[in-house]
Amino acid sequence: MSATAVTVQENRAPNFWQSTNGKKAVMAVTGVVLFLFVLGHMLGNLQIYDGAARLNAYGRFLKNTGELLWIVRFVLLTCVGLHILASVQLWARNRRARPVGYSHKKSVNSSYADRTMYWSGPIVLAFIIFHLLEFTAGVIHPESRFIDGDVYHNVVAGFRVWWVSAWYIFSMILLGFHLRHGLWSMFQSVGLNHPRHTPVLQRAAFWIALLITLGYISIPVSVLAGWVR
């Protein structure tokens, strides 16, 4: 192999990451992984409506996966880190490309979800950290005792605290905005943004994000309303 070929191979990965298309590709791939987790996690959490035995059995199943669970956690945390890093670097690159702001900034063809994409991600990350500390580690569990293995009790006791539920609902609404934009961006990335299909794909992204958001926030609402106790 020639020295030139070796140099090209060595520089391929850094060049991919440093390019705008490379960062967008990283955001797309990690976004798909995180979306699948969000969907699966919601379906698992909704088992709370089947009662304590069902939800606790689900919790024991996850805990009994052992090392596989830690591998999944590592992959997810890596995806979160890469997703946010690529997003921030793309935002900084766009800022450098337009160092002088517009005198009258107009959001042409831009939704609220588009405009909040960059700051909603870090807020959702802060929520994830709080959520793990409260419901997984039990380090933060206000106004109640954390019982290891009793997922149903921990969820209900946690969401009985109004500000915990409020923070959860707020974060899930931001997640919904983030998902709507992310799903639509994913459709565009794979070349599905043909004028004929665009309205359908936009509605699909909206309804998928809305259903996931409603699924998540239904749990704290049900606890506060006394439907789940």
Q: What is the pLDDT of residues 5-33, one digit of tens each?
A: 555 555 555 688 888 888 888 888 888 89
Can you say whether the dihedral through the CA atoms of 209, 210, 211, 217 is positive or negative? positive
Quote the domain boundaries for residue 152. Answer: 20-95+116-225
Query: Would you say residue 130 lies in a domain?
Result: yes
Query: Would you say residue 174 lies in a domain?
Result: yes
Query: Are 223 and 229 a contacting pair, CB within 8 Å?
Result: yes
Tokens 């959860």 found at: 168
pTM: 0.80
**Confidence band, pLDDT 50/70/90 cuts, at residue 193:** low
Query: Would you say residue 3 lies in a domain?
Result: no
What percent of the chain has pLDDT above 70?
79
Query: Would you say residue 203 lies in a domain?
Result: yes
Across 88-96, average pLDDT: 79
Query: Would you say residue 105 lies in a domain?
Result: no
Query: Would you say residue 135 lies in a domain?
Result: yes
DSSP 19: S
Tokens 């766009």 found at: 94
Query: Would you say residue 76 lies in a domain?
Result: yes
The larger pLDDT score, comparing residue 76 to residue 119, is at 76
Domain count, the chain: 1
Question: What is the reported pLDDT for 89?
Answer: 84
Question: What is the reported pLDDT for 101?
Answer: 52
The larger pLDDT score, comparing residue 181 to residue 68, is at 68
Query: Would you say residue 39 lies in a domain?
Result: yes
Region of poorest pLDDT, from 37-51, 110-124, 156-170: 110-124
Is residue 224 over pLDDT 90? yes
